[in-house]
């Protein structure tokens, strides 16, 4: 269990670093701000809201029940895999949110528009750290 928690924390910190790298890459390599179709912004916003909703549903259906079960039965391999998969999927969705910011920079959006996606992915990823299940 401790090895898996450590691995999840390493993955999380690596992904947090990659989000910062996306912001730097978007500024250095991204195209300059130019006129962009507003419907693209609406599309990104809608997809982002859906991703954030999916993150919370995923945590509610996969991570939290598995965490409760692991608190009483820490040697259950199947529950441990569900718990780990839930965290990895959560982290991947947070990363996808930040990638929207990078994609926007390459499409010509300005930093202020892309920054919301970088910050959203970073804050969610920072907030959902892997905690070892404990019985209550």
- Alpha helices (runs of H) in 29-76, residue ranges in sequence order: 38-58, 64-72
What is the rounded CA–CA span in Å between residue 78 and residue 100? 33
Domain spans of the chain, in order of start: 2-127
- The reported pLDDT for the residue numbered 136 is 62
Tell me the pLDDT band of 75, cut-offs 50, 70 and 90. confident
> Nearest CA to 93 among 17, 3, 19, 10?
19
pLDDT at 108: 86
Tens of pLDDT, residue by residue over 80-89, are 999 999 999 9
Q: What is the pLDDT of residues 53-71, one digit of tens each?
A: 999 999 999 998 999 888 8
Cβ pair 115, 36 in contact under 8 A: no
Q: Counting Cβ atoms within 10 Å, is residue 122 exposed (0-12), middle (13-18) or buried (19+)?
A: buried
CA distance 116 to 114: 5
75 exposure class (CB count in 10 Å sphere: 0-12, 13-18, 19+): exposed
Convert the pLDDT of each residue in 5-50 to its tens digit. 899 999 999 999 999 999 999 888 877 767 778 888 899 999 999 9
Query: What pLDDT, on a 0 to 100 scale, did the predictor assign at position 95?
Result: 96
Q: pLDDT tens-digit profile of 100-126?
A: 999 999 888 888 889 999 999 999 999
Q: Determine the pLDDT at residue 3.
A: 87
pLDDT reported for residue 134: 76
Instruction: Tell me what pLDDT residue 90 has.
Output: 95
């Amino acid at each position: 269990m401790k090895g898996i928690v450590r691995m999840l924390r390493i993955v999380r910190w690596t992904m947090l670093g990659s989000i910062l790298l996306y912001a730097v890459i978007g500024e250095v390599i991204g195209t300059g701000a130019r006129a962009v179709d507003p419907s693209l912004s609406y599309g990104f916003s809608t997809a982002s809201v859906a991703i954030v909703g999916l993150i919370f549903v995923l945590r509610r259906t996969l991570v939290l029940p598995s965490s409760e079960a692991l608190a009483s039965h820490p040697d259950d391999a199947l529950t441990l895999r569900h718990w780990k998969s839930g965290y990895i999927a959560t982290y991947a969705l947070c990363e996808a949110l930040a990638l929207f910011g990078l994609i926007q920079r390459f499409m010509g959006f300005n930093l202020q528009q892309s920054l919301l996606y970088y910050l959203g992915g970073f804050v969610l990823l920072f907030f959902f750290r892997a905690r070892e299940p404990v019985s209550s």
